[in-house]
Amino acid sequence: AQSVAQPEDQVNVAEGNPLTVKCTYSVSGNPYLFWYVQYPNRGLQFLLKYITGDNLVKGSYGFEAEFNKSQTSFHLKKPSALVSDSALYFCAVRDPRGGSYIPTFGRGTSLIVHP
Partner 1 sequence: NAGVTQTPKFQVLKTGQSMTLQCAQDMNHNSMYWYRQDPGMGLRLIYYSASEGTTDKGEVPNGYNVSRLNKREFSLRLESAAPSQTSVYFCASREQGAGELFFGEGSRLTVL
The nearer residue to partner 1, 73 or 105, going by C-beta atoms, is 105
For residue 93, give every residue at least 6 positions away whose Cβ sits within 8 Å of its Cβ, in sequence order, or none.
2, 3, 4, 25, 26, 27, 31, 32, 33, 34, 74, 103, 104
Measured distance CA(19)–CA(36) in Å, rounded: 16
55-84 binders of partner 1 (CB under 8 A) = none
49 binds partner 1 (CB under 8 A): yes
Q: Is 54 in the site for partner 1 (CB under 8 A)?
A: no
Residue type, 19: L
How many chain residues are in contact with partner 1, going by CB under 8 A? 21
CA distances from 4 to 7, 82, 101, 104 (A): 10, 26, 16, 7
Looking at residues 5 to 44 of the shown chain, list those that interact with partner 1 (rule: CB under 8 A).
Answer: 32, 34, 36, 41-44
Among positions 7, 18, 29, 96, the unique one binding partner 1 when judged by CB under 8 A: 96
Question: Interface with partner 1 includes 53 (CB under 8 A)?
Answer: no
Q: Give the binding site for partner 1 (CB under 8 A).
A: 32, 34, 36, 41-46, 49, 51, 90, 92, 96, 101-103, 105-108
